[in-house]
Chain A
């Protein structure tokens, strides 16, 4: 399998650990990632809030620059913007003409835009993943958090159930985690309001963290750098405000997959996570030890 890889801005900055772990896991699974030459920022929330043409032109530039027939995007927001652009440019000839004028070249329709979670969970057979696992997650309790952009809107991002997605849950079960049922899989974390309306993010991310703690999870597993940053970076202040005890690390699904595939924590960028992940690692290790088979940590 070969994909054009679109890390997006965050994977080169605040979410380096997502980039590291995504590349490591893909390498192990034999998924070849080819960086898109000259890729641009997707425009994120800013572009579509101020300039519609720009919001389409930026993703269109990246899609058109892809050298492979499909793009793997690990960031949920990038993925959503790229999908949105592709769907709209294919349906709206007038818009497409405008965008092509801005690009100065024809739009390359027909490139499949895929999220990395979709590729790993749906393209790679479970037994192939299983075969690459050197260890398990030792039965640690996790909740899977997809965020709002990964599966919605229905007509744009449609690789899993819009309200009750399960792709990440399946992967984590495969890794030997105890995946808990919880009701916050797809609610919004507040996203980019983190900077302009921190109070909103405190409220929304607060609900997610409280719910994850209530469920008794040892970690929140994520697939979006924006969500991760809100859950991780803002966590101490939010939990203090909510008067809640405890800490819960927000880790990327690729980090946990990578851990089970035998990659070191350093390779997977565990050190980049603000909330202390060592209790989680300890639990994984003791869980592995308990499951009889002598497994290394």
Chain B
């Protein structure tokens, strides 16, 4: 007989208000294998853990059942307690009587009976549980950062600062991300480029950071500590060894009217281009889609004028496989497409622009060299309307608050006043959210000192008439309908995950929330981790964030990465599949079904009737096995079992439940 102790947690009132603690304790004490049962208000607290430690010694326990919350919450906690008490951590099981019982039921008697069932099942299971030892795997001391915006750059710099080689993958031709395109930043109005470009240069000069610009992550295999990542290096059609970034090619390119992605269409670029003058690396790429040579077979102007012979039209996409121990995802955001919104006439009004387009115009290095102009006629706008919450906090589009818009709209109003002194800004808002250091003061400054007119209410529609953009809305403070004849309308459109996030989530095997942002492992306590070991998040790919928050999360993800990669070995869960070679027939169903390539074709030599026989059998590579159970379910001969989820354990658990049925029958 095993010697199992049962520890039942009240979780304050979370469990105790619906489940009768004493009854469960009493029932637990009577179960086979159980030598001790007790309850306590907070089993996860220090005194709670001590209760377990003391009881383990006193009653010589060799198995523990903690009836409390979900194992997703506290399994690591109680496994550690078990280890400290000298009990194998895999002989600790949690009975979930909170999420799966007290929280979802109201009737005390029924909930108590269900809690007793859960305890009985777990006691039966623990009695069958084998002691398991964690598997140790050597760690690849190299990190991958996906996305070269401010969050990714910060993460890469910090990881490199910790002495670890870092690969920074960016899909556009330059690192810098959205921040490189911004004008001044709130609330201090320091120039975005001035604070960002030195970091970009640092990243490119660091010996430990390898920049992979114009590249995308194609495939990810392996697991925490040992990922194998395939990177697609998109053809630049420029030999990066030979190119010195002189600019002759893009100046000579005859095709100059391509809307620039970096300028959000406010400015144009050529077919061979660098996105902006301060690009890192300062090496152009040829956009195959718009290059006239790729379309018609004629031109090659760039090639003719390149004195270094760096243009190479023969290049093709290349693939490179890299091995890394950890991955930081920092893929950033895009803006909701307002040209899909009827209330703004589906983008048919040229003088209705987005906040990022305004940034490109007001940026000194932008296409208008800092001049704010009406796209329709190039004139200076005198009346500018800024609309908050376009598609955010709106049940028709995105329910969430995009967080940064209140502040950047206030900043835009201030910048407008600084550039065009006689201009008037109107801001339509729902309420101003200015939580952050110096933020409240900043928007007040916009309001009081810079004369921005704040109108509390939503905009109902925007249309063009007589050369003006008419904005109709509501001022809920005066109770009036208001109409502003504007020269320019700037929409603070909702922040949405960057295009391609969904595909990347699939490649990485991480989850997204209902809006497509990557999910953190815990909304409060693990905001940087994903549920997949070794993959961390930074910046707006997780939720809308401003620059300081993105930088902070970049650093946090770097510190998590360094913590992981500082170890020589990584311990992996021992709950992996095992093949019984004596009955395996080598059908290879497991080999075919495994997404991780863990089952390997192997041989076994056995003695049958005094003769040595060699047979082909499957063998699971523990370093690769993720413990998903696919092979276990697939094996037609039932030759594969999963440690920690063995048939014996699962059948014992089911048997534990059936006890209740049996008892009910007997009492009839």
A residues engaging B (CB < 8 A)?
A: 154, 161-164, 182-184, 187, 211, 214
Contact between chains at A164 and B342 (CB < 8 Å): yes
Contact between chains at A164 and B466 (CB < 8 Å): no
Contact between chains at A187 and B461 (CB < 8 Å): yes
Confirm or deny: B343 has a beta carbon within 8 angstroms of a beta carbon on chain A.
yes
Contact between chains at A211 and B465 (CB < 8 Å): yes
B residues engaging A (CB < 8 A)?
A: 341-343, 345-346, 396, 461, 463-466, 470
CB distance from A259 to the nearest CB of B (A): 29
Residues of chain A with a CB closer than 8 A to B396's CB: 154
> Which of B461, B464, B465, B470 sits near A163, CB closer than 8 Å?
B461
Interface of chain B: mostly helix, strand, loop or mixed: mixed
> Which of A154, A161, A183, A187 sits near B464, CB closer than 8 Å?
A183
Known: A183-B463, A211-B465. A161 touches B342 (CB 8 A): yes
Residues of chain B with a CB closer than 8 A to A184's CB: 463
Which of B346, B396, B461, B463 has most chain A Cβ within 10 Å?
B463
Contact between chains at B342 and A214 (CB < 8 Å): no
CA distance A184 to B343 in the complex (A): 11
Known: A161-B342, A163-B342, A164-B342. A214 touches B461 (CB 8 A): no
Contact between chains at A162 and B470 (CB < 8 Å): no
Q: Whose C-beta in chain B lies nearest to the C-beta of A185?
A: B463
Residues of chain A with a CB closer than 8 A to B466's CB: 214
Contact between chains at B346 and A164 (CB < 8 Å): yes
Pull 13 A–B residue pairs with CB atoms less than 8 Å apart, ordered by A: A154-B396, A162-B342, A163-B345, A164-B342, A164-B345, A183-B345, A183-B461, A183-B463, A183-B470, A184-B463, A211-B465, A214-B465, A214-B466
Q: Whose C-beta in chain B lies nearest to the C-beta of A215?
A: B465
CA distance A214 to B304 in the complex (A): 55
Residues of chain B with a CB closer than 8 A to A187's CB: 461
CA distance A161 to B348 in the complex (A): 15
Further 20 A-B residue pairs, CB within 8 A, beyond A183-B461, A184-B463: A154-B396, A161-B342, A162-B342, A163-B341, A163-B342, A163-B343, A163-B345, A163-B461, A164-B342, A164-B345, A164-B346, A182-B465, A183-B345, A183-B463, A183-B464, A183-B465, A183-B470, A187-B461, A214-B465, A214-B466
CB distance from A191 to the nearest CB of B (A): 16
CA distance A184 to B466 in the complex (A): 13
Residues of chain A with a CB closer than 8 A to B345's CB: 163-164, 183
Residues of chain A with a CB closer than 8 A to B464's CB: 183
Residues of chain B with a CB closer than 8 A to A214's CB: 465-466
Residues of chain B with a CB closer than 8 A to A163's CB: 341-343, 345, 461
CB distance from B66 to the nearest CB of A (A): 45
CB distance from B462 to the nearest CB of A (A): 9
CA distance A162 to B346 in the complex (A): 12
CB distance from A167 to the nearest CB of B (A): 15
CB distance from B169 to the nearest CB of A (A): 40
Q: Whose C-beta in chain B lies nearest to the C-beta of A165?
A: B342
Residues of chain A with a CB closer than 8 A to B341's CB: 163
CA distance A162 to B341 in the complex (A): 10
CB distance from A247 to the nearest CB of B (A): 21
Nearest 8 CB-CB pairings of A with B: A163-B342, A183-B463, A164-B342, A163-B343, A183-B465, A162-B342, A161-B342, A164-B346
CA distance A184 to B243 in the complex (A): 56
CA distance A211 to B466 in the complex (A): 10
CA distance A86 to B12 in the complex (A): 49
